[in-house]
Chain A
Amino acid sequence: MFWNMPTLGYRDVWGEFDRLQREMNRLFEPVARRARVVAEGFPPVNMWANEDEVLLTAEVPGVDPDKLEITVKNDTVILRGERPSEELKEGESYLRQERGAGTFVRTFNLPFHVDGEHVGAEYRMGILQIRLPRREEDKPKKIAVQAG
């Protein structure tokens, strides 16, 4: 209680707030460290790239690979799918429900046109990986400069 601390001047009060804030940060730091990157939607995706292709990975646990649909057109990739909701059987009730269910759609624009013929996708341990190769005519070409 501030009024019980007669020795605290104006500056000391703010110093006290600083101390409190540091203390709070310290307290919540483990939580902040565990918090995941906030996703744009479901499923969250990561992308890797090299000169020839982009690898897109998506965390889609519990989704049947047959229920995943990947559409590629020019520089656009659309990922559709469905995560079924568990139907409660008779006499069953939820004690806790944190996992989401339903259909999802995500659209991505790539910086190049995708060679749709050579797109590959694999699903392992709840992670979908899509290989999106750059179209041959879209690849950067090096032009040799000749001395005149």
Chain B
Amino acid sequence: MDELSRNDFLKLAGIAGTATAVGEGAPALLRPDAADAAPVKALLLQPQAFTYLTQPEQAFVEAAIDRLIPKDASSPSAKDAGVAYYIDQQLAGAWGTGARQYRQGPWQQGTPEQGYQLNMVPQQLYRIGIAQTNAHCRKTYGKTFDALSSVHQDEILHGLEGGKIALAEVPAKAFFDTLLGNTVEGFFADPLYGGNRNKAGWKAIGFPGVAAAYTGVIERHNIPYRVKPVGIADVEQGMDPDPDRAENDEHRRRVAMMHGNTRREG
């Protein structure tokens, strides 16, 4: 067990087909197509839809994130990787409604070292930030942000980031930093959250995803380890329900047997 490999992880997790493709004795440099060829079953399809952002807000977010992480040879853009849906879901959920934010008053602006002091949860930061940025764009160019040329879009984004554009009811930089932070999150987070579609972000940089057990390969120095990335949903859904169940139970049984079950009753 101390030599548990990624191969074993996949086996334990039930992706038996992939396990044969990257089995022990496979060459150190695993070509992506080796794993691609394995008979991993198709994931259950989940429809994507916006639940928090209004239509003008959707247009703004999609246009903005298409500039923040644009398409290139390595991957699609953040927009094409579904990051607008990621942002929408985050806004609709716990984070967007102020989870883990201390929300008691009194409120006053502090120093940069004291951090975020707005009486506002992320939903409001986006709603007000988008509306006022669009108002600025209409005043300057006669169009909303999504209808601008990419050159003008970049100019606006730089203006928000660098403090050249001031918004009346929200600090422009706080809005921009949150948007950029969320875009990077969505591009690299597990695809189950709506972004990083087809693991576009992970493939671009060579991140293998959640199937991670490297005892046998970590000392193969300076040899790139590149495999088809695996997400949480692949493990949970990528196989027949029954064998899946059995494999997971088997995994738990083996781990519990080896190390003693620490779960306490009551």
Question: Do A and B come together as binding partners?
Answer: no
